[in-house]
Structure 1
């Protein structure tokens, strides 16, 4: 088996990530934002992303300048009317981020604070709705990459439909790998990022919103640049973005959508990530490491490992040793101090993971950590 590197540098983070060369090359050409090529690419992206979530008839895909966080705030400001109240489900770092965005956007917000595991369940959501009948919307992060948890979107959507509460999903880290049916789940909005499972570059915020709600929101948003209704209707009428678009990033995303389709869509992409994840997790477990989460709640796009208890270990020295080998990993997030995270998204194959695993072992030995390591298993903490 060839275990050599396929890339000069590996970015093994929750995103941005290791981008295919074809995607990078797409950004080398300057394109006219009002030209037919750029307009066609924008439409191609919208059509493809709607097809991925069965939203072609029921939903609209709104493209917005900025990171995915811009799209989340735009969604809150545009889709939640005056008098509405948002329930934010928080069981990790990105649930906290959703709460911070909502509060900064002056959205009337209430929080359901839960531990990382066990996963949120029907009783949790129903109790929160019973306690606050004024709640009109609820939002939850599907893939909490701060730890690696995959949250139960289908359950939340079912409760929302039964209670007449509109459901928004932060699928920033999961869209493109985890299949989500926007129409069947009757989702109010899905927030998406290009630089995660779509394997593109950051710079475009994507909001897949229910058409009827988007139309009802005309004139509601207090922000000129975050008004999803105006952005969408302007693009529908003219083909153009309302403000100067990130043309190079759009070019990259169009190529990424084509690559995604060529791979077979979300299912085959998640299968590849799962194979990558298994090589990494099984390999490090054989070296004595333990994972923060049990496998049955983990999404195979990122793995979180407990730090070894060897006194020679520090994340700073481990990170530096990995960087010298052309590989970048991340520390844990908030709920997972004493951990490190390794993403398996991006232009990665099993060959890459075997190379990365070998380099990790070399780096640990370089900083004086004895293998097999003691992963120091610990319970998952609450936020």
Structure 2
């Protein structure tokens, strides 16, 4: 059997299998008011802008909490209360955006589209034609509930032509896919360390258009989710307004160094080669993918459950878990499926080990893995 590189594989859409050197950074205690921590925060903020071409037009504002905290903070701060937000909902995380925006009291219009085909510029145009009071467009770039990669460039073109402000949930894609915030003219891009940046959760990163953030003072009804106040405090003092998760920030700093050393192009190529090896290997075993390859984001693969009567996801999950590998069920938008994520410290050698472990696990629960009828 292929040698395993990790004692434990977290094969989910994030959190993920974190490289050892990033974990090691969390063993050091840091003072949030020390110059070293201030310098670390600045390096992170600068690097985030560097990799999305936002240095001249945008600012990076970190905030404590998961990525969803950053999304809500961005809405409260950057979107006027009388705005109306068009939300693209063609997967689970589009629904999450609707939940956050609606729960935050904004007027919303949900553009419900099927998982496939991918949304088009014409779909967005039609929604805007139907409601001329829409001011903002909000969508998820990589829908990891299914594996869809939405076409943000085409949607950004519509937004610019129609004078609408664009907000992008790039939580699962940032750092692994090219996102040019200046070219997109994005009002905000929401990011997370625990996806393609290969770090740990605990901080949200908001890439906000500087001119819009400057105009948002005292707009947020929340004290702790006020991005403008967080940004101004960081600019004035180098410190976070509230106690930051210092160990998480340390891990993210190391993750930025590692990302820069590998390069985004090389990281994306590693993801794609691992994804290709996984998808081909699973198809050889008789599994079918939820999505056609051309529509899939090569950071996660979604497979239909086998039809074998011996199969249950719970039994499969437990068999994999006993071997130190954790996979994910499909979301409600893709019932009858399971997902395997390949972000994190994963390469093709790991995929070979993962496929062999899948064979062992399915054999244990009495499911065929020879590509026969299921």
Q: With structure 1 as the length reference, what TM-score do the two structures score?
A: 0.96
Paired residue secondary structure (1:128): helix
Find runs of 4+ consecutive structure 1 residues off by over 3 angstroms.
373-376
What does residue range 138-217 of structure 1 map to in structure 2 within 5 Å? 138-217=137-216
Residue-pair matches, total: 374
Give the distance between the partners of 2:139 and 2:332, measured in 1 at CA.
17
Deviations 1:224-262 (CA, angstroms, capped at 9, x unpaired): 000000100110010000000000000000000000000
Checking the alignment, whether the CA contact within 8 Å between 1:150 and 1:298 is kept in structure 2 is yes
Residues 1:12 and 2:26 aligned together = no
Give the distance between the partners of 1:35 and 1:187, measured in 2 at CA.
33
Checking the alignment, whether the CA contact within 8 Å between 1:170 and 1:192 is kept in structure 2 is yes
Give the aligned partner of residue 360 of structure 2. 362
Q: Which runs of 5+ in 1 are unaligned?
A: 377-383
Q: 2:313 aligns with which of 315, 334, 344?
A: 315
Give the aligned partner of residue 55 of structure 2. 56
Deviations 1:242-286 (CA, angstroms, capped at 9, x unpaired): 00000000000000000000001x221111001110111100100
Give the distance between the partners of 2:215 and 2:172, measured in 1 at CA.
28
Give the aligned partner of residue 241 of structure 2. 242
Checking the alignment, whether the CA contact within 8 Å between 1:308 and 1:374 is kept in structure 2 is no
Residues 1:79 and 2:73 aligned together = no
Alignment CA distance shift 1:238-1:374 (3 Å): farther
Give the aligned partner of residue 303 of structure 1. 301
| 1:37, distance to aligned residue in structure 2 (A) | 1.1
Give the aligned partner of residue 290 of structure 2. 292
Give the CA RMSD over aligned residues: 1.0
Paired residue secondary structure (2:100): helix
| 1:375, distance to aligned residue in structure 2 (A) | 7.9
Paired residue secondary structure (1:188): strand
| 1:323, distance to aligned residue in structure 2 (A) | 0.6
Give the aligned partner of residue 380 of structure 1. none
Checking the alignment, whether the CA contact within 8 Å between 1:310 and 1:374 is kept in structure 2 is no
Give the distance between the partners of 1:212 and 1:97, measured in 2 at CA.
27
| 1:185, distance to aligned residue in structure 2 (A) | 1.0
Checking the alignment, whether the CA contact within 8 Å between 2:62 and 2:203 is kept in structure 1 is yes
Q: Which runs of 5+ in 2 are unaligned?
A: none
Deviations 1:57-107 (CA, angstroms, capped at 9, x unpaired): 100000000000000000111111121111100000000000000011111
Paired residue secondary structure (2:281): helix
Checking the alignment, whether the CA contact within 8 Å between 2:274 and 2:348 is kept in structure 1 is yes
What does residue range 269-288 of structure 1 map to in structure 2 within 5 Å? 269-288=267-286
Q: 1:326 aligns with which of 324, 327, 344?
A: 324
Paired residue secondary structure (1:43): helix
Give the distance between the partners of 2:10 and 2:39, measured in 1 at CA.
30
Q: 2:344 aligns with which of 330, 346, 350?
A: 346
| 1:122, distance to aligned residue in structure 2 (A) | 1.0
Give the distance between the partners of 1:181 and 1:154, measured in 2 at CA.
9
| 1:371, distance to aligned residue in structure 2 (A) | 2.3
Checking the alignment, whether the CA contact within 8 Å between 2:52 and 2:181 is kept in structure 1 is yes
| 1:373, distance to aligned residue in structure 2 (A) | 4.6
Checking the alignment, whether the CA contact within 8 Å between 2:284 and 2:371 is kept in structure 1 is no
Give the aligned partner of residue 69 of structure 2. 70
Alignment CA distance shift 1:375-1:177 (3 Å): farther
Q: With structure 2 as the length reference, what TM-score do the two structures score?
A: 0.99
Give the aligned partner of residue 223 of structure 1. 222
Paired residue secondary structure (2:168): strand
Give the distance between the partners of 2:90 and 2:76, measured in 1 at CA.
23
Give the aligned partner of residue 40 of structure 2. 41
Give the distance between the partners of 2:195 and 2:244, measured in 1 at CA.
20
| 1:367, distance to aligned residue in structure 2 (A) | 0.3
